Structures are given as C-alpha cells and as structure tokens.
Amino acid sequence: MKSAILKLLKKHPKVFKFVKRSITKVKRFAFKHFRQLVPVDDKMVIFDSFLGKGYSCNPRAIYEEMLSQEKFNDWKFIWVMRKPSSLQLDRGEVVRYNSLKHFYYLAKSKYWIFNSKTPSYMYKKSNQIYLQTWHGTPLKKLARDIEIGENATFYRTQMSKDDMVKTYDQDVEKYNYLISPNEYSTDKFISAFGVGRDKIIETGYPRNDILTNYDKELVESIKDNLGIDKSKKVILYAPTWRDNIYDVKGYSFTPKVDFKKWREVLGDDYFVIYKPHYLIVNNIDQEGLEDFVYFSKATDSINELYLVSDLLITDYSSVFFDYSILRRPMLFYMFDLDDYDENIRGFYIDINDLPGPIIQDEDVLLSNIKDLDTVVNDYKIKYERFTRQICSLEDGHASERVVDLVFE
C-alpha cells in the first residue's frame, strides 16, 4: 500500500514535494513544542547510525567504548533502529526510528551521537550536546562544494542545490562537535558544511580502532561466521551509490560486474564479498554464486569485512580511506568515471593520486587481480605517501579520545 502511494505521488513531483514538506512541518511543530515538556537526563545518550539503518560506524564504536569504562556503569543508552528486533544490546534500550519513544528520548537524552545529518524537525535544546561523527573521509564533493549545472536537483525529492545546502546548514547549527579523522577531512568539512573550526575535533575515526587493534583469532572467527574458504584469498567489492539513479523505494544501482565471469577467471584462488552502500535498495542476481560470492546486507557493518579481505575493489566510495590503514592492495573500478565526474559529484583530489590503478573495463580489472603483485609494486610509493597524509591519527585509540573530549 505504501509503495503504491509513493509510486502515485512520484508521477506528480509537485504533489510529492508538497506532501513531504507538509508532513515535515507537522513533525517539526509537534516535536518543537513537545520537547520542552521533557526534562533532560544528564546521564542518557541516544545513538543513531545512518538514520536507524544499522548498528554500525562511529556511533557503535563510541557506544562500545563507553560500555568498557566503569564511570558510565549507571548511564542509560538508547539505540534507534528501523527494525528494533534486529538488535540485542548488552546494555541499553532499542527504539523504533520515528516512533513516539524515539522523539521522547531525543528530548530527554543529554547527548546525541549520530553519523548522518538529522531531519530538520529534530530540534536540539540548548542544554543538549550533539556529536556529529559523520561517516567517511570524502573523495567525492559534498554539500556546498558540489559544482554541477544550475538546474541540477538532488536526492529523490528533487530538491535544488540551495535547498540541499540548507539541510546541511540546519544540521550544522545544532552541532556541538564534529569528528574529523584527519587534517584533510577537516579542511573539506569546513568548506562543504560551512562548520566552524572550533566545533571540529580532529581525533581519527572511532570505527577504525578495530583496524589497528584486531588479532588473528578475530579474523578467523569472522571467516567462520561468513563461511569463507580459508584456503582462498578474499576480495571485498564495495561500490558507492549514484545520486541520479533511484526509484520509489530508494536509490537503485547495479554495478557493471559479471560475477560468473569473475568465478571463471578467479574462482580457484579467490572468494568475493559484495558489500553495497547502505542507501542501495536493489540486489544483484545471486543465483548459482553461493560458492563464490557472499552477498552482504547494505546495512551490515563493513569493518569486519575489511579485516577478512586481502584486496579492496571500490569506485568513488570513501571506504578506501579506512582500508588504507591495513596497508592492503586496492583497485578502483570506475566504469562510469566520465559521467560521475562531470554530471554527478566531482572529486576533491586528483584521482590520479589514488593509491591504486583506475580501471574502467571489467576484463582489465580481472587482469589486474591476476597480476596483483605487479600492481602493488607499481603503486608502492603513492600508497606510502597517501597513508602518511590520511592515517596519522589512526592508532587504535580514537574512541577513547572522543569520549574523553565529549564527556569530560
């Protein structure tokens, strides 16, 4: 029923936009006045990762760090999930995203720990602390920095650039802190979000602590859980989404990959994990690939997948910044490079400086995988230069630094 209504509204963009804005105004009015009736609890924290889509990323790392410290033993923790039954916590309560309980705890929690911009109807009181952790080091341009046509629109709502930037401005006004993983990201966040340098804490990313602190036993247990053949090397394929490809359910994107061809070329030596971006709603055909490809859910945490992989293949996703901490090979499969650069986002850095080859043809991609040792040798100097710039703060203690800074 819901899909049918959305489909009908999509045929009439102006009506769709009007309905969406009207619902937002009602929510904004209701929450703005309701929140004043709820006193703030100084020992309550609410966590939200990707607008309730998963137990993951920086909010998860910060939550688990707080669990490990005795001084938070009497604190209350709230996690927001779109599917509350999917999460069982060691300590804390799970509430449904956009429910009355969600709004109640938003009003009551002293601390908000989120990794995506909040809807405009989520007002913060002056005595609440909002920590925006964000969710990646940017390669593709963000917010104010996106430079494309005058009549370009964004997201499925088809909003203008001015309206899109306004959604960031509204969120930035609420910030008490914004986490930056490195100096490069700090510069880009200031430019893209218009956030003041005084609100940025440059600490490294909490979610990346595991990439320094892991051990062999953890890797083995993850492989066992995923059913990975330990005699084979593992490829992690993690492409990002495209702003201009969507349907009524969400963003839809099918990468130009033929996993059956991959199996013919690589099947004796490799196993593949396919991890789509959390915004993607459609799936690749999985028939007959059970012994070669593990299809991860879009909302699954990617950190454990990093640990079990020997090679990362991505496109314009920020995952390669995090993956570089492991000093493992990376290939950049950008089959739609020209269109993406010119018509969708554009990049912050010269992609020729990336720590791996840019590949636009699938056969060339497979050839590079077969001859990976040569690729690694060719990009050794670029890789070392890149990691010096990006990974200087990734020492396995970012979660501790963030908790010390925010909760002291």
> Rounded to whole angstroms, how far apart are CA atoms 340 and 316?
9
The pLDDT mean for the chain works out to 86
| Residue 405 scores a pLDDT above 60 | yes
| Residue 99 scores a pLDDT above 80 | yes
> Rounded to whole angstroms, how far apart are CA atoms 259 and 265?
10
Separate counts of helices (H) and strands (E) for the chain: 16, 15
Q: β-pairing, 330-333 with 311-314?
A: parallel
Beta carbons of 57 and 207 less than 8 angstroms apart: yes
pLDDT computed for residue 289 by the predictor: 80
CATH 3.40.50.12580 domain position(s) in the chain: 214-390
| Gyration radius from the chain CA atoms | 22
Residues in the chain: 408
Beta carbons of 347 and 291 less than 8 angstroms apart: no
pLDDT computed for residue 247 by the predictor: 45
> Rounded to whole angstroms, how far apart are CA atoms 263 and 152?
40
Q: By mean pLDDT, which of 15-29, 107-121, 355-369, 389-403 is the weakest?
A: 15-29
User: For the segment 201-251, what is each residue's pLDDT rounded down to a tens digit?
Assistant: 999 999 999 999 999 999 999 999 988 989 999 999 998 855 544 444 444
For residue 335, the surrounding DSSP H or E stretch is none
Does domain 34-208+396-407 fall under CATH 3.40.50.11820? My reply is yes
Q: Is 240 left (phi over 0), alpha (psi -120 to 50) or beta?
A: beta
For residues 34-49, average pLDDT: 92
User: For the segment 110-128, what is each residue's pLDDT rounded down to a tens digit?
Assistant: 999 999 999 888 889 999 9
For residues 66-92, average pLDDT: 96
For residues 393-404, average pLDDT: 97
Which residue has tokens 């209504």? 5
CA distances in angstroms from 177 to 29, 163, 212, 391, 403, listed in the order given: 26, 24, 24, 21, 12
Q: Which two tokens stand for residue 162?
A: 């001015």
For residues 78-98, average pLDDT: 94
Phi, psi of 319 (to 5 degrees): -60, -30
CA distances in angstroms from 141 to 83, 144, 302, 341, listed in the order given: 31, 8, 22, 10
Beta carbons of 302 and 275 less than 8 angstroms apart: yes
The pTM score is 0.84
Of the candidates 265, 271, 259, the one whose C-alpha atom is nearest the C-alpha of residue 305 is 271
User: For the segment 166-194, what is each residue's pLDDT rounded down to a tens digit?
Assistant: 999 999 999 999 999 999 999 999 999 99
* Greatest distance between any 2 Cα atoms in the chain: 64
Q: Looking at the domain covering 214-390, what would its CATH class be?
A: alpha beta
CATH 3.40.50.11820 domain position(s) in the chain: 34-208+396-407
156/289: higher pLDDT = 289
15/223: higher pLDDT = 223
For residues 386-401, average pLDDT: 95
> Rounded to whole angstroms, how far apart are CA atoms 140 and 151?
20
pLDDT computed for residue 150 by the predictor: 60
Provide the pLDDT confidence category of residue 318 given band limits of 50, 70 and 90: confident
What is the SS3 assignment for 13? helix
User: For the segment 270-282, what is each residue's pLDDT rounded down to a tens digit?
Assistant: 999 998 865 544 5
| Residue 352 scores a pLDDT above 80 | yes
